[in-house]
């Protein structure tokens, strides 16, 4: 199964980001549907059920803090060709969550990227170039009280991210 651990945005925030994107940026064919907006904490990739069960068992015993982020900056990464929203000052709680989950994955021999964690919400994929600066600055406060195990499912209508398991943040 292709999976990741992450944070789900509220439906209201997903719709607000979609509406902002549609007003502030040129419309492209590579727009991510609002239902897919999320923040990945750690990408697990293709993992077997025994490894996934072991990860879930480890997360069951964690006590992770509630977190929030102010999405107030737009960015673009040329190598994966994605446009995203992030924060000029990401919370230490989000980094703490990602670090703890990454350590669990590594301990269970899951290959995890070794690079600085930047919490973000991807809003466009396969963007051939960076979009122009938005005509309206992003300004979305997201609060999180749970971490989720998502599956990445390819369908005829595109990728979907059903939630397989949820853990509360305290």
Q: Residue 3: what are its φ and ψ, rounded to 5°?
A: -140, 165
- How many distinct structural domains can be found in the chain? 1
- The backbone torsions φ and ψ at residue 54, rounded to the nearest 5 degrees and listed phi first, read -65, -40
User: Smallest Cα–Cα separation from 83: which of 43, 44, 138?
Assistant: 138
Catalytic residue, from 96, 120, 129, 148: name it.
120
pLDDT at 28 (0 to 100) = 76
Give the active site residue among 38, 61, 96, 148.
38
pLDDT of 76: 94
Residue 22's domain is classified under what CATH number?
A: 3.90.1140.10
pLDDT score recorded for residue 25: 85
Full residue range of the structural domain in which residue 160 is found: 2-168
Give the Å distances, CA to CA, from 56 to 41, 60, 104, 105, 146: 14, 6, 10, 10, 14
Written as tens digits, the pLDDT of the chain (170 aa) is: 999 999 999 999 999 999 999 998 887 778 899 999 999 999 999 999 999 999 999 999 999 999 999 999 999 999 889 999 999 998 899 999 999 999 999 999 999 988 899 999 999 988 888 888 888 999 999 999 999 999 999 988 889 999 999 999 99
Residue 120 known to be catalytic: yes
Q: Is 103 a catalytic residue?
A: no
């Amino acid at each position: 199964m292709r999976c990741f651990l992450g944070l789900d945005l509220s439906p209201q925030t997903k719709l607000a980001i979609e509406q902002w994107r549609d007003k502030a940026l040129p419309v492209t064919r590579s727009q991510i549907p609002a239902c897919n907006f999320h923040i990945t904490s750690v990408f697990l990739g293709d993992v077997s059920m025994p490894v996934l069960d072991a990860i879930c068992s480890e997360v069951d015993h964690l006590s992770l803090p509630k977190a929030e982020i102010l999405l107030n900056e737009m960015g673009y990464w040329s190598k994966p060709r994605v446009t995203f929203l992030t924060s000029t000052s990401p919370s230490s709680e989000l980094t703490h969550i990602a670090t703890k989950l990454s350590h669990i994955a590594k301990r269970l021999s899951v290959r995890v990227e070794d690079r600085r964690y930047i919490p973000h919400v991807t809003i466009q994929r396969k963007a051939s170039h960076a979009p122009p600066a938005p005509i309206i600055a992003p300004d979305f406060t997201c609060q999180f009280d749970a971490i989720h195990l998502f599956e990445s499912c390819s369908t005829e209508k595109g990728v979907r991210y059903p939630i397989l398991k949820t853990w509360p943040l305290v």
